[in-house]
Amino acid sequence: MQLDTALQLLRQSGHDLPEGTPGSDAWLQSLIDSLVDMSSRDALTGLANRRSFELALAREIDRVARAGEPALLLALDIDHFKSVNDTHGHASGDLVLKAVANALLDCVRPMDLVARVGGEEFAIVMPNCPAAFGEAVAERVRRRVEAMPVNIGLSQQIHVSVSIGGAFAPQWVRSSPALWIERADIQLYRAKAQGRNRVCLEPSAVSVVSAEEKALLFGISQFQDIE
């Protein structure tokens, strides 16, 4: 990548340009760090983007298979978001997305990863997460968003809600990101079908190991060192 192109990308994405003497080792390293951060972050909300989310999910699946610690994936969707854009405009929709993103960050631990994975779709990867704790966090997120006024300009506020689905990774079993996402999405669809603005989690105690996961049980981890 040409230097001018790299600087232009940073400007367009709203990132600060590197400080210091242009061309120096420290300046170039800062430029590289900014580009790496830009490639892993959603430009609007500052959350992890889908690429970072998928990498984190694969790492967590590997860790669960090795250590057996419980891990929860939450899939979230802003209810009736299309009507926000249609009624108030896309600029207001962007304000809603930013507000929800900040609310999610305020409700989780530093070790949890919050990502924007689609238009109005978010996900949270929660390592080392017992079932009771995960349910409490998911409900905390739902209540926080429901009670949060979003300022959209001209002294106007709106309220939104989120539907949340969640699934625990099968402990001691090598799963796959696609299978884990599918399980969380099933619960998200259930939350929407039951009226939205609610939490539906797959109980960790009754997680069913699929045929695909059984086939992966003795597979080699993509993160396992090759001797």
> Does a structural domain hold residue 223?
no
Q: How many domains does the chain have?
A: 1
> Does a structural domain hold residue 224?
no
> Does a structural domain hold residue 174?
yes
Q: What tokens does 82 get? A: 């299309």
Contact 79, 197 (CB under 8 A): yes
> Does a structural domain hold residue 200?
yes
pLDDT, tens only, 45-100: 989 999 899 999 999 998 988 888 889 999 999 999 999 999 999 999 999 999 99
Residue 188 has pLDDT above 50, yes or no: yes
> Does a structural domain hold residue 11?
no
pLDDT band at 164 (very low <50, low <70, confident <90, very high): very high
Strand 162-168 and strand 72-78: pairing? Answer: antiparallel
> Does a structural domain hold residue 121?
yes
Contact 202, 187 (CB under 8 A): yes
**pTM of the predicted protein model:** 0.78
> Does a structural domain hold residue 106?
yes
Residue 160 has pLDDT above 90, yes or no: yes
> Does a structural domain hold residue 43?
no
What is residue 195's predicted lDDT score, i.e. its pLDDT? 96
Cα 54–chain centre separation:
9
CATH number for the domain including 84? Answer: 3.30.70.270
Dihedral over alpha carbons 46, 110, 104, 206 (to 10 degrees): 130
Q: Tell me phi and psi for residue 127, to 5 degrees.
A: -70, 160
pLDDT band at 40 (very low <50, low <70, confident <90, very high): confident
Q: Which domain holds residue 112?
A: 50-216
Tell me the CB-side half-sphere exposure of residue 89, using CA atoms within 13 A. Answer: 4
End-to-end Cα spacing for the chain: 34
How far apart CA 129 and CA 132 sit, in angstroms, is 8
**Could you tell me the CA-to-CA distances from 189 to 50, 113, 123, 182 in Å, in that order?**
20, 22, 14, 10
Dihedral sign computed on CA atoms, order 165, 171, 173, 174: positive
Residue 39 has pLDDT above 50, yes or no: yes
Give catalytic residue positions. Answer: 120
